Amino acid sequence: MVYRPTANTEARKVKVRERLLKSGLELVAEGGFKKATIGAVAKRAGVASGTVYSYFNSKTHLSTEIFQLGTEREVAKVHEALTQEGDITTRLENATRVFMTRAMKGRTLAFAMIAEAVDEELDDERRRYREVWAHTYEPILQEGIDTGYLPPQSAAITAAGLVGSMAEVMVGPLSSKTEQFEDTELVDTMVAFCLRAVGLCAQATNPAPTC
């Protein structure tokens, strides 16, 4: 007789897998991907190390899925800010503030996601999610271009530029043990930069003046 997992068995497996990823993300937030070893994740999740390999075939596989979980959460927060009520200036400003302030509050996790030295497979995933980030910004930029709120430009290129700029400017502050900038200064400056980059001014009204 061929063994077929019951619904309860499958549900337990899903919960264990979720617990492993949650534990891994907690460890990355505490000390980066280098801290999220197979043994450490297993211990945090309350399972044997061998159990981890029932769900992930390698440390890289585990790290990649931890990265996906963490990044998807942040993308969801930015997407929420971009799709709330308000004019384009307000939504872009709010999304930038969400991205920057969440990164500054969770510095270790943000640095791990953005710039920690990792193996090639995880670095490929990081590049792929940069594209996901950019695609999150494209609809609002295209909306602005189509309505004349923003000057003519490529929504795809501008979105990639915004995401790349925000990620790059965070590397120094996130990795440094000394305060290079006040958090509010860093966030406010990047908000102004991002608005200017797309052709807007802070506190703009509809139709927005270009800068």
CATH code, residues 1-57: 1.10.10.60
Share of the chain above pLDDT 90, in %: 70
Measure the CA–CA gap between 125 and 128, rounded to whole angstroms. Answer: 5
Whether 26 shows a pLDDT value over 60: the answer reads yes
The whole-number pLDDT of residue 177 equals: 61
For residues 114 and 169, is the Cβ–Cβ distance under 8 A?
no
Higher-pLDDT residue of 210 and 14 is 14
> Within 13 A of 171's CA, how many CA atoms are on the CB side?
10
User: Which sign, positive or negative, has the C-alpha torsion 10, 12, 16, 19?
Assistant: positive
Domain assignments of the chain as residue spans, ordered by start: 1-57, 70-211
Q: Which two tokens stand for residue 159?
A: 């979105």
Q: Token pair 């450490």 is at which residue? A: 40
3-state SS, residue 67: helix
For residues 30 and 62, is the Cβ–Cβ distance under 8 A?
no
Angle of helix 107-114 versus helix 59-82 axis, rounded to 10: 110
The whole-number pLDDT of residue 207 equals: 47
Superfamily classification of domain 70-211:
Tetracycline Repressor, domain 2 (1.10.357.10)
* pLDDT tens digits, 125-182: 999 999 999 999 999 999 999 999 999 999 999 999 999 999 999 888 887 665 566 7
What is the pLDDT confidence band of residue 10, given thresholds at 50, 70 and 90? confident
Whether 57 shows a pLDDT value over 60: the answer reads yes
Whether 211 shows a pLDDT value over 60: the answer reads no
Q: What are phi and psi of 56, to 5 degrees?
A: -135, 130
The mean pLDDT of the chain is 89
For residues 99 and 74, is the Cβ–Cβ distance under 8 A?
yes
Percentages helix, strand, coil for the chain (3-state, rounded to 5) are: 75, 0, 25
Measure the CA–CA gap between 136 and 112, rounded to whole angstroms. Answer: 21
Measure the CA–CA gap between 191 and 203, rounded to whole angstroms. Answer: 11
Measure the CA–CA gap between 109 and 104, rounded to whole angstroms. Answer: 10
Please give the model's pTM, rounded to 2 decimal places: 0.84
The whole-number pLDDT of residue 5 equals: 65
The whole-number pLDDT of residue 8 equals: 76
Average pLDDT over residues 87-91: 95
